[in-house]
Amino acid sequence: MGIGWRELRRYAEPMSSKKRIGLVGVGPWGRNILRDLVALGCEVHVVDRSGGSGDAARELGAATTVGSAADLPDVDGLVVATSSSSHAEVVRSVLGRGVPLFVEKPLTTCASDARDLVERAGDRIFVMDKWRYHPGVLALAEIARDGSLGSVVGLRSVRLSTGIPHPDTDPIWTLAPHDLSIALEVLGFLPAPVHAVADRDSNGIVGCIALLGTSPWLSIEVSGRYDRHHREIRLFCTEGVAILGDAYSDHVAIVRGRGIGQLQQQKVERREIGTEMPLLSELRAFVSYLGGGPPPKSCAQDGALVVETIARIRALSGIAAEEQ
């Protein structure tokens, strides 16, 4: 996964028929989305709600920049990349356009809002769960399905970061959706939360550890107070363990064996994985869908399930309703 951003363009072949995309939100992550949409050959019209990112958007190839979604020209689809707490409001404001929507995770930060969006337009809302396109996660999903390591016992995902970059939400809302979407891809379903504990500092919630399900089980740990960025996913099976050691790893490590003695004697196998950035992959999927291809992996119902599961994890953690 060690491709530099400057090298990305040569990996993104433009789509055969140019699509007109409206991009609502052009902050640091929205600019990455804009860059990749342009690389895919799209004509991108940007909504700069803050009014301070228009020049940067145009430098990245935006066709136009406007101050509100109401000022957008006709488009084939919309991408929503505003702050997490604003997703419900923004999505509702553009539903009248009747085009497919690709919304950054989480779908919302409120379970009732998520259910409302599903009821209103669940057939044309999709969630940007980029980890469902990560080559390492796809490799783990294949191992889970093909039985090459036996039956699945459990899945563990660790996502630790330095600081809290999104002031409108805490790390449970910003980080845990990734891990839950990984479970959807690898396990094929989302286990029900069983137990959870919240991590707090003097200013509030900074993370949590949660256990979901029993057979197979899912364990997630997310935190905004770690000394570095650390991502790791372990798929536990009856005949061994498959490990994605880092977001930018170029392989999945496989250790076969059932006991400590056996594990010590086994060599670690390397399963090489692809190098395309998952953001580019998911945006290609959305653009392809606009041209008649299959839908993106995470539908609105998946997104609502993730939101509802996080709400349950927060409740199990003792997080009060007013902190939701």
pLDDT digit string, tens, across residues 231-248: 999 999 999 999 999 999
Sign of CA dihedral 10, 15, 16, 19: negative
Tell me how many helices (H) and strands (E) the chain has. 9, 15
**Residue ranges covered by each domain of the chain:** 5-129+280-298, 131-276+308-323
| Mean pLDDT of the 281-308 span | 98
| Mean pLDDT of the 149-173 span | 93
Q: How confident is the model at residue 323 (pLDDT cuts 50, 70, 90)?
A: low
Topology of domain 5-129+280-298, CATH: Rossmann fold (3.40.50)
How many CA atoms are closer than 13 Å to the CA of 194, on its beta-carbon side?
A: 12
Q: Is the pLDDT confidence value at 310 over 90? A: yes
The string of DSSP codes covering 276-307 is: --HHHHHHHHHHHHHTT-PPPSEEHHHHHHHH
At residue 228, the pLDDT reads 92
pLDDT digit string, tens, across residues 121-137: 999 999 999 999 999 99
DSSP state of 13: P
Which secondary-structure segment (H or E) carries 220? strand 217-223
Four-CA torsion 31, 47, 49, 127, nearest 10 degrees? -70
Q: Rounded mean pLDDT of the chain?
A: 92
Q: Quick check: pTM over 0.95?
A: no
At residue 266, the pLDDT reads 67
**CATH dotted code for 131-276+308-323:** 3.30.360.10
Percent of the chain having pLDDT more than 70?
Answer: 91
